[in-house]
Chain A
Amino acid sequence: MPEVRRSIAITIDDTEIDAYEGESILQAARRFGIKIPSMCYLEGLSVWGACRICVVEVAGQHQPRPACATLVVEDMEVRTNTARLQSHRRTILELLFAEGNHVCAVCVSNGNCELQDRAVEAGMDHVRFDYRNPLRPVDATHPKYVFDPNRCIVCTRCVRVCDEIEGAHVWDVASRGHQAHLVTELGQPWGRSSSCTWCGKCVASCPTGALFYQGSAVGESVHAPDLVARLVAARRDHEWFPPVESPTSPNEQNGDDR
């Protein structure tokens, strides 16, 4: 029997829409084709609210709210693209670029990167902060995949997809603040992980070039984050999900599946 959800009238950028009770501002906006930029949010996974790119202004509230983690309430008035929000988004992006080592020119995801795309949208033509240039060793111990933490923004999509969808929970976040970083198998090299199923959902979900297939060269890595929502829907509706060609594996395309 189809689920009956109570309607809640809200206004987003002067457009009145019928949101559902229990829905986030971001979900409601997307259903009505209103674009709010996001990064850590991924349809099909739990909400993390880490990146704050999706901040919106809600009438009567001084602080901007993350649209992914704010539920709709009756008569809510939301603005998604004010000058203040544009400024906040650009600052957040500049901080992300300054925090890691994001060298687009030599990145596997150059041209296929959500971080790069958000920077273009935000008009980020340079970074005003000092680059931290942290030393972050690459983990290439896994036979099939590589983790390059230099390009990681700790959005935790991989952590969530591995735990919630695959059920393996290989990934975790270690440390706090600017030292927060991803670990596999509680800090063991990924290649020694006994819980990793080699499913590749983490690679598919990654918004940047932090996770990619072994053997990928500059610009070759294309992620498939939509896979998660399709998989979740197929499970819910008990539909057959056809095997997925991994779009990001140059080795497999060459018939050399390691």
Chain B
Amino acid sequence: MTEKTRLATVWLGGCSGCHMSFLDMDEFLFDLADRVDVVYSPLADIKEFPDGVDLTLVEGAVANDDNLELARLLRARSTTVVSFGDCAVTGNVTAMRNPLGDPQAILRRVYVDKVDRDGAIPDDRPVVPALLPRVLPLHQVIDVDVYLPGCPPPAARIRDAVVGILDGTLPRERGEGIRFG
């Protein structure tokens, strides 16, 4: 029996909808479990991103310094990195704050100006990570091997991509499989 692929899934600045769609692969998850070991994931209680990961799916944009640190770490420890969903690929909804500029001004408006009283910007570092000046798509921070767009990518699209990567048959032309939104 061949050794199982070491799979990680990561949740950066996103809504976890991509992970929900991953779970929507339903009974295919049993087939997948025969081929992979999940070594890191928000769906599993593992604290540290491990060494020697074969395949990592990254949901979410890079929005804060915690995202940035984890993105660099997972790149260093993964063979294949997949930009998983529109937030990772384009910034998407997470990046809709970018046109408004300075994140401090946005935080002030949300946590101070728009509350009835005693508003304060949460700043308990490192529990609350600092926002980056701009939200960035994953590939502007680390090298990405495969792009898997969609908000969220439909379960069938995730399955096709993951199987394609595991089998080494992921086609260059993926037709509708790259549609944003």
Contacts and interface: CB of A to CB of B under 8 A. Distances in A.
Contacts of B176: 120
A125 B93 contact: no
Interface string B58-95: 00000000000000000000000001001001111101
A131 B181 contact: no
B137 interface: yes
Contacts of A150: 99
B91 A131 contact: yes
Question: Dominant SS at the A interface?
Answer: loop
Contacts, number: 70
30 contacts: A101-B96, A103-B92, A103-B96, A104-B179, A105-B151, A105-B180, A106-B93, A116-B179, A116-B180, A116-B181, A119-B178, A119-B179, A119-B180, A120-B178, A120-B179, A124-B178, A125-B89, A125-B147, A125-B149, A125-B174, A126-B90, A126-B149, A127-B90, A131-B95, A131-B98, A133-B95, A133-B98, A133-B134, A135-B99, A135-B100
A103 B93 CA distance: 7
Contacts of A136: 99
Given A131-B95, A135-B100, A126 B89 contact: yes
A38 interface: no
A124 B89 CA distance: 11
B92 A101 contact: no
B99 A126 contact: no
B160 to A, nearest CB: 13
Nearest to A124: B178
Interface of A: 97, 101, 103-107, 110-111, 116, 119-120, 123-127, 130-131, 133-136, 150
Nearest to B101: A135
Interface in B36-71: none
A25 B62 CA distance: 45
Contacts of A110: 181
A107 B86 CA distance: 13
A130 B133 CA distance: 14
Contacts of A103: 90, 92-93, 95-96
Given A107-B181, A120-B179, 16 more contacts: A101-B96, A101-B99, A103-B95, A106-B93, A110-B181, A119-B180, A120-B175, A120-B176, A123-B174, A125-B174, A125-B178, A127-B137, A131-B98, A131-B137, A133-B95, A135-B100
